[in-house]
Amino acid sequence: MPKKSFREAVNEALRQEMERDPTVILMGEDVAGGMGAPGEDDAWGGPLGVTKGLMPRFGRERVLDTPISESAFVGAAVGAAATGLRPVAELMFVDFMGVCFDQIFNQAAKFRYMFGGKATTPLVVRTMYGAGFRAASQHSQCLYNIFTHIPGLKVAIPSNAYEAKGLLIQAIRDDDPVMFFEHKAMYDEEAEVPDEPYTIPFGEANVAREGEDVTVVALGRMVNFANEAADRLEGEGISCTVVDLRTTSPLDRETVLETAEETGRVVVVDEAHPRCSMAADIAALIAQEAFDALRAPVRMVTAPHAPVPFSPALEDLYIPGPDRIVEAVREVHGYGRG
Partner 1 sequence: MQLSREDLLEAYRRMRLIREFEDRVHEEFSAGNIPGFVHLYAGEEASAVGVCLHLDDRDRIASTHRGHGHCIAKGCDPRAMMLEIFGKREGLCGGKGGSMHIADLEKGMMGANGIVGGGPPLVCGAALAAKTLGTGGVAVAFVGDGGSNQGTTLESYNLAKVWNLPAIFVIEDNGYAETTASSWSVGGSQTGRAAGFGMPGVEVDGFDFFAVWEAAREAVERARAGDGPSLLHVRLSRYYGHFEGDACTYRAADEVERIKAEKDPLMLFRRRVREAGLLEDSDLDAIDREARERIARTVDDAKGAAYPTEADLLTDVYASY
Partner 2 sequence: MSAAIEAVVMPKWGLAMQEGMLAAWLVEEGETIAKGQEIAEIETSKIANVFESPAAGLLRRRVAAAGETLPVGALLAVLAPESVSEAEIDRFVADFRERFAAALASGATEAAPEPRTVEAGGRRIRYLEVGAGEGPPVVFVHGFGGDLSSWTLNQEALAAAHRTLALDLPGHGGSDKALATGSLEELAAAVAAFLEALAIPRAHLVGHSLGGAVAMRLALDRPAAVASLTLVAPAGFGAEIESGYLEGFLREKRARKLRPVLEMLVRDPAGISREMVEEVLRYKRLDGVPEALSRIVEACFAGGRQRIDLRPRIGELPMPVQLLWGREDRILPVRHAEGLPETVTVTILEDCGHLAHMEKAAECNAAIARILTRA
Catalytic amino acids? 139
- Least Cβ distance, residue 111 to partner 1 (angstroms): 7
Q: Which residues pair with 299 in a beta bridge?
A: 267
β-pair type (63-65, 24-28): parallel
What does DSSP assign to residue 140?
Answer: -
Cis before 56 (ω within 30): no
Q: Are 203 and 167 in contact (CB under 8 A)?
A: no
Task: State the binding string over 151-180 for partner 1 (x if CB under 8 A, else -).
Answer: xx-x-------------------xxx----
- Least Cβ distance, residue 219 to partner 1 (angstroms): 18
Among 43, 48, 72, 293, binds partner 1 (CB under 8 A): 72
* Number of residues located near partner 2, criterion CB under 8 A: 16
Q: Using the rule CB under 8 A, is 81 a contact of partner 1?
A: yes
Between CA 310 and CA 276 the distance in angstroms is 24
Q: Is 269 helix (H, G, I), strand (E, B) or coil?
A: strand
- Least Cβ distance, residue 39 to partner 2 (angstroms): 38
What does DSSP assign to residue 331?
Answer: H
CB atoms within 10 A of CB 38: 5
Q: Of 1-9, 147-155, 161-169, 322-330, which segment contacts partner 1 by CB under 8 A?
A: 147-155
Question: CA distances (Å), 108 to each of 105, 142, 296, 318, in order?
Answer: 6, 20, 41, 33
Q: Using the rule CB under 8 A, is 255 a contact of partner 2?
A: yes
Q: Are 35 and 65 in contact (CB under 8 A)?
A: yes
- Least Cβ distance, residue 327 to partner 1 (angstroms): 36
Q: Using the rule CB under 8 A, is 133 a contact of partner 2?
A: no
Among 1, 83, 235, 288, binds partner 1 (CB under 8 A): 83
Among 172, 200, 251, 267, binds partner 2 (CB under 8 A): 200
CB-based burial, 259-276: b 16+ in 10 Å, e otherwise: bbbbbbbbbbbbbbbbee
Among 102, 190, 228, 258, binds partner 2 (CB under 8 A): 258
Q: Using the rule CB under 8 A, is 40 a contact of partner 1?
A: no
Q: Which residues pair with 24 in a beta bridge?
A: 86
Which of partner 1, partner 2, none does 210 bind, CB closer than 5 to 8 A by kind? partner 2
What does DSSP assign to residue 202?
Answer: T
- Least Cβ distance, residue 311 to partner 2 (angstroms): 38
Which of partner 1, partner 2, none does 199 bind, CB closer than 5 to 8 A by kind? partner 2
Q: Is 224 helix (H, G, I), strand (E, B) or coil?
A: helix
DSSP 23-52: TEEEEETTSS--TT-SS-TT-SSSTTSTTT
Among 15, 47, 119, 198, binds partner 2 (CB under 8 A): 198
Which of partner 2, partner 1, none does 198 bind, CB closer than 5 to 8 A by kind? partner 2
Burial of 68 (0-12, 13-18, 19+ CB in 10 A): exposed
Q: Using the rule CB under 8 A, is 117 a contact of partner 1?
A: yes
Q: Of 37-45, 60-68, 141-149, 230-238, which segment contacts partner 1 by CB under 8 A?
A: 60-68
Dihedral over alpha carbons 46, 48, 54, 55 (to 10 degrees): 40
Residues 204-243 that bind partner 2 (CB under 8 A): 204, 206-207, 210, 234
Q: Are 11 and 72 in contact (CB under 8 A)?
A: no
Site residues (vs partner 1, CB under 8 A) = 23, 25, 61-62, 64, 66-67, 69, 71-85, 87, 102-103, 106-107, 110-120, 151-152, 154, 174-176, 203, 250
Site residues (vs partner 2, CB under 8 A) = 162, 166, 194, 196-201, 204, 206-207, 210, 234, 255, 258
